[in-house]
């Protein structure tokens, strides 16, 4: 098992992914999930939005020359991002494309949890803040957007915006327990005791 890796701050070139209710079918179409590993998923992130029926680029922001930076990326999104299917393929595809954190108005529950177990913070901000951030980035995308989990801020070109993150998620990122397996394994005896108290585990024997 991996060591505990605290995530205090994520910094990377920003990419605005505009739109409310962007579902995970759009983030990764089901036909690209026909594989037994997550490898290579990055190439298919938002595939049907980025490419037309003939495989030609539609000029989507992910393929826009202004947004072709190397290294980690931070996505800016609107409301209810990642709704729909529980497929971890969605955050995995975005992670493999380079996105390491999100700033958005709101996130779907399962998507938020999936990102957390991958160490990708999804911080939220007011509608006006997200709008201002998107505009600032679209004016000039060539700077790093810094998401600070410790101070709950996002900083772009010297301007700092307040962001939110539920306390539990923040603590998991900061103390490195976002990958929960190790934490859960530590309570083996308590798990057994809980199981034995459940009447259905005892097959309803008295």
Partner 1 sequence: MGKSLLDKVWAAHAVRELPSGQTQLFVGLHLVHEVTSPQAFQMLREQGLTVAYPDRTIATVDHIVPTHTAVRPFEDEEAEAMMSAIERNCREFGIRLFDPSSGHQGIVHVIGPELGLTQPGMTIACGDSHTSTHGAFGSVAFGVGTSQVRDVLATQCLAVQKPKLRRIAVEGALPPGVYAKDVILHIIRTLGVKGGVGYAYEYGGAVVERMSMDERMTVCNMSIEGGARCGYVNPDATTYAYLRGREFAPPDEAFERAVAWWSSMASDADAPYDDVVRLDGSSLAPVVTWGINPGQAIAIAEAIPRPEAYGADERETAEDAYRYMGWQPGTPIAGTRIDVAFIGSCTNGRLSDLREAARVAKLGRVKPHVKALVVPGSQAVARAAEAEGLDDIFRAAGFEWRLPGCSMCLAMNPDKLRGRQICASSSNRNFKGRQGSPSGRTLLMSPAMVAAAAIEGAVTDIRQMLAGSAR
**Which residue ranges make up the site for partner 1 (CB under 8 A)?**
1-2, 19-21, 23, 25-26, 29-31, 33-38, 48, 53, 79-80, 83-89, 91-92, 106, 108-110, 113-114, 117-118, 166-169, 171-172, 175, 177, 179-181, 183-185, 187-188, 190-191, 194-195, 197-201, 203-206
Q: To the nearest whole angstrom, how small is the minimum distance from the Cβ of residue 94 to partner 1? A: 13
Burial of 50 (0-12, 13-18, 19+ CB in 10 A): middle
**Six-digit token string for 115:** 């990102």
* DSSP helix/strand/coil, 185: helix
Report in angstroms how near the CB of residue 119 gets to partner 1 at its nearest: 10
Task: Name which of 90 and 103 has its Cβ closer to partner 1.
Answer: 90
Work out how close the CB of 112 gets to partner 1 at its nearest, in angstroms, rounded to a whole number. 9
Main-chain dihedrals φ then ψ at residue 2, nearest 5 degrees? -70, 160
Query: Based on CB atoms, which residue is closest to partner 1, 162 or 187?
Result: 187
Query: C-alpha angle 174/177/183, rounded to 5°?
Result: 150
Closer Cβ to partner 1, 53 or 158, answer by number = 53
Query: E strand or H helix at 17, and its extent?
Result: strand 9-17
* Cβ proximity of 149 and 180 under 8 Å: no
Min dist CB 5 to partner 1, Å, is 14
Of 19 and 71, nearer to partner 1 (C-beta) is: 19
CB of 194 to partner 1, least distance (A): 5
Separation CA 99–CA 92 (nearest Å): 9
């Amino acid at each position: 098992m991996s060591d505990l890796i605290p995530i205090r701050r994520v910094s990377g070139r920003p990419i605005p992914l505009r739109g409310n209710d962007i579902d995970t079918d759009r983030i990764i179409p089901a036909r690209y999930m026909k594989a037994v590993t997550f490898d290579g998923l990055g190439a298919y992130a938002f595939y049907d939005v980025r490419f037309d029926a003939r495989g030609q680029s539609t000029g989507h922001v992910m393929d826009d020359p202004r947004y072709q930076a190397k290294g980690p990326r931070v996505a800016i999104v609107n409301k209810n991002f990642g709704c729909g299917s529980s497929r971890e393929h969605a955050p995995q595809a975005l992670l493999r494309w380079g996105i390491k954190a999100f700033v958005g108005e709101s996130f779907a529950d399962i998507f938020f949890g999936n990102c957390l177990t991958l160490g990708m913070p999804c911080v939220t901000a007011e509608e006006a803040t997200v709008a201002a951030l998107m505009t600032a980035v679209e004016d000039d995308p060539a700077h790093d957007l810094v998401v600070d989990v410790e101070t709950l801020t996002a900083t772009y070109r010297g301007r700092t915006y307040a962001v939110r993150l539920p306390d539990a998620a923040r603590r998991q990122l900061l103390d490195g327990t976002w990958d929960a397996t190790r934490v859960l394994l530590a309570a083996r005896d308590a798990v057994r005791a809980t199981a034995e108290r459940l009447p259905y585990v005892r097959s309803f024997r008295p």
